[in-house]
Chains A and B, each alone.
Chain A
Amino acid sequence: MKTSNVILQSMTKVLLFLIMIFSIYIFFAGHYTPGGGFVGGLLTSGAILLLLLAYDLQTVRNILPVNFLYMVAVGLVFAIGTGAGSLIFNKPFLTHAFGDLHVPILGELHLHTATLFDLGVYLVVVGVTMSIIQTIGGDDE
């Protein structure tokens, strides 16, 4: 019997975005409160996984035409880049810098290069998780 996943699919349409914004919140919360790149990345891949459960692999590939292996590579480049960036200023590898920046609308921002490193972690986690799931899931093709 063929059944319709209409409830799951229409709930996914709402929940996907709520999970995504929560994952971004968790990603930025990492500095002062629990959270960070790893949990944020896992939450993001959890959101995409929900999409995979509600639809099929091909639909998700059409919605997100991303090669997740490249995503891993980009994440590693971010991590190495922020680490190597300190070498230019004659500081040891992985020395981080921070500063306060005044942006017109957002006000006072406390920026730290550790966030960029975290972004690398985030991308690697999303890329690795999604590659694993897509490889296992796409076995029968």
Chain B
Amino acid sequence: MAVQILLNVCLGFMWMFLTTTYDLVAFIKGYFFGLLILFVFRNFFSSRFYLYRIYAVVKLLFIFIKELILANIAVVKIVLTPKLHNSPGIFAYPTRLEKDWEITTLSNLITLTPGTLVVDISEDKKILFVHAVDMNDVQDEIEAIQTSFEKAIMEVSRK
């Protein structure tokens, strides 16, 4: 991905030298045409066309914002309830992610969305121990994380 972006920037500069106009507009034009060429020859690279990955990153960001708002509302509900009905607990979450940065991102996302908190990660990096404020059904919690965060992170790291 980094190679593709670097190549695209180089093509943008090359356009500036070819047209001998050294301003931002010329660079944007060159970058656009470079993007077009990279898209046409996208099968040439071993990894995906890099805009797909940027799209996946943006999607992950929006999922995070959405989950943050929803989870905060859930926590407000728990705090404002006169009597405590929540049942806290720690559960093991089996993760399919392999790379270190993926696991770090996933645990940060789980922690930053209130309601769940990563307590520890097992030695072989296969299981995350998550503390939940209100866990009625462990399976539901696991599924919720899997469908939202883990899928989105996998989409980013896919080749």
User: Considering the chains assembled together, what is the distance between the CA atoms of A17 and B28 in angstroms?
Assistant: 17
Interface range for B: 10 to 19
Q: Do B15 and A63 touch (CB < 8 A)?
A: no
Stretch with Cβ within 8 A of A (4 or more), from B37-45, B91-99, B100-108: B37-45
- Bitwise, A8-40 to B at CB < 8 A (1) or not (0) is 000001101110111011000000000000000
- Which of A13, A14, A24, A64 touches B33 (beta carbons < 8 Å)? A24
A6 an interface residue at 8 Å Cβ cutoff? no
Is A99 an interface position by the 8 A CB rule? no
Known pairs A21-B11, A25-B19; A13 contacts B44 (CB<8 A): yes
Interface size on A, residues (CB 8 A): 17
Contacts of B18 in A (CB 8 A): 21-22, 25
Could you tell me the distance between the alpha carbons of A9 and B50 in the complex, rounded to whole angstroms? 22
With A21-B34, A105-B25 as known contacts, state yes or no: A64 contacts B11, CB within 8 Å: no
Residues of A within 8 A of B30 (CB): 21
In this assembly, does B75 line the interface, its C-beta being within 8 Å of a C-beta of chain A?
no
